[in-house]
């Protein structure tokens, strides 16, 4: 979701874009995400753990957005070695290749709000203690420290994002490990129950993918971001049950079903989370533009039009909106950017 949306925005703006993706299941790679901009984007199927591949791919580029990762904190508990291999060693591999073969490149890292662990104060700013509680969060935190080390010791220009709960167009819809808003939306579109464990009153910060991509582009193009860490979210908190109700209201299908927490379910509850975005606003002039209900509406319309590329059954209530031409999309775009918990 994030990578393809970012690649599309950059391609529309005239950048020479290469995507690297390993296409590992059950993660989010979907060739349809770039289908209508394929002529503007080079696609390389490779793994960030493949040192020989990274030696080639990092050369002769100006900016690297490293969004690669194992995304499920529950899966990281089941298989901590895989998580460490991708979320730490893989990133070390990329950084070392940048240091050796393209030290002038700028590299941006996508971390997670789960790095904070138990939340001690709201909203959460960059100075909040990092106390991760899963291998996923440990490895994200270790990778963040490594990016900052390479900035200090090797003068590699790095930027670190700690991202809240992203959602929106082009997210995979097969399971809940990538994005809870998108998975709930699928359940509603198929007329199924939206199952919420407990009362659903836990507060989360949901950031729309276009806003998140705009933050990445601003950080990549602004020297003031070099060496910095930014918390990125909408700056607004929403109870999970209220988010689910928005989805039901927009789709006009499905219903919310509260059930007890399963005894066998591994829940790593860190408490309510709201992002303090003041540093992003001050340093980069970034402001999120899309409120949650509007973002849900936009996402719903996207999957109404393109749902067959993401899941099997789609409601037919809304007629598809015609696509503009490639040329008109290109002009318009140039003029204007995790775990389910």
Q: pLDDT (tens digit, 9 = 90+) per residue, 43-57? A: 999 999 999 999 999
Residue 194 phi/psi, 5-degree rounding, is -95, 105
Q: Give pLDDT, residue 320.
A: 30
Q: What percent of the chain has pLDDT over 70?
A: 90
Task: Tell me what the mean pLDDT of segment 71-84 comes to.
Answer: 89
Task: Tell me what the mean pLDDT of segment 25-51 comes to.
Answer: 90
**Is pLDDT of 175 > 60?**
yes
Q: Give pLDDT, residue 311.
A: 79
Structure tokens at 277: 């975005």
Kindly report the length of the chain. 341
Report d(CA 319, CA 323) in Å as an integer.
12
| pLDDT interval class at 125 (50, 70, 90) | very high
Q: Do 143 and 111 touch, CB atoms closer than 8 A?
A: yes
Q: Do 168 and 331 touch, CB atoms closer than 8 A?
A: no
Least confident of 36-45, 70-79, 299-308: 70-79
Task: Give Cβ neighbours of residue 150 (< 8 Å, ≥ 6 apart).
Answer: 95, 98, 99, 156, 158
The pTM is what? 0.89
Q: pLDDT (tens digit, 9 = 90+) per residue, 241-278? A: 999 999 999 999 999 999 988 775 666 788 999 999 99
Mean of the per-residue pLDDT values of the chain = 89
Report d(CA 94, CA 52) in Å as an integer.
10
Structure tokens at 32: 């349809």
Least confident of 61-75, 152-166, 198-212: 61-75
Q: pLDDT (tens digit, 9 = 90+) per residue, 136-158? A: 999 999 999 999 999 999 999 99
H or E segment to which residue 116 belongs: none
Q: Give pLDDT, residue 52.
A: 96
Q: Give pLDDT, residue 265.
A: 63
Torsion (CA) 257, 263, 265, 266 in degrees, nearest 10:
130
Q: Give pLDDT, residue 319.
A: 31
Nearest-5° Cα angle at 80, 186 to 111: 60
**Is pLDDT of 235 > 60?**
yes
Q: Give pLDDT, residue 316.
A: 33
| pLDDT interval class at 312 (50, 70, 90) | low
**Is pLDDT of 331 > 70?**
no
């Amino acid at each position: 979701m994030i990578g393809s949306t970012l690649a599309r925005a950059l391609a529309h703006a005239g950048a020479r874009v290469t995507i690297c993706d390993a296409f590992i299941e059950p993660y989010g790679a979907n060739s349809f995400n770039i289908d209508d901009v394929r002529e503007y984007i080079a696609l390389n199927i490779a793994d960030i753990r493949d040192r020989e591949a990274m030696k080639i791919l990092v050369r002769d580029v100006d900016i690297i957005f490293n969004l690669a990762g194992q995304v499920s904190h529950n899966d990281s508990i089941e298989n901590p070695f895989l998580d460490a291999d991708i979320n730490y060693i893989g990133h070390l591999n990329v950084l070392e290749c940048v240091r050796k073969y393209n030290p002038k490149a700028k590299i941006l890292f996508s971390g997670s709000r789960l790095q904070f662990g138990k939340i001690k104060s709201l909203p959460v700013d960059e100075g909040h203690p990092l106390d991760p509680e899963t291998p996923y969060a440990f490895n994200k935190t270790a990778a963040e420290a490594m990016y900052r080390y390479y900035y200090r010791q090797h003068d590699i220009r790095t930027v670190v994002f700690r991202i809240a709960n992203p959602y929106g167009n082009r997210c995979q819809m097969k399971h809940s490990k990538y994005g809870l808003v998108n998975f709930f939306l699928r359940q509603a579109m198929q007329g199924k129950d939206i199952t919420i464990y407990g009362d659903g009153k836990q507060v989360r910060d949901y950031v729309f993918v276009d806003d998140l991509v705009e933050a990445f582009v601003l950080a990549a193009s602004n020297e003031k971001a070099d060496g910095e860490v930014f918390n990125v979210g909408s700056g607004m908190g929403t109870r999970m049950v209220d988010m689910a109700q928005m989805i039901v209201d927009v789709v006009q299908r499905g219903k919310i079903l509260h059930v007890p927490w399963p005894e066998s379910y591994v829940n790593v509850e860190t408490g309510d989370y709201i992002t303090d975005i003041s540093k992003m606003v001050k340093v980069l002039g970034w402001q999120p533009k899309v409120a949650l209900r509007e973002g849900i509406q936009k996402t719903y319309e996207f999957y109404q039009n393109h749902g067959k590329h993401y899941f099997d059954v789609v409601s037919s209530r809304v007629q598809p909106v015609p696509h503009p031409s490639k040329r008109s999309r290109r002009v318009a775009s140039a003029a204007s950017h995790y775990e389910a918990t």
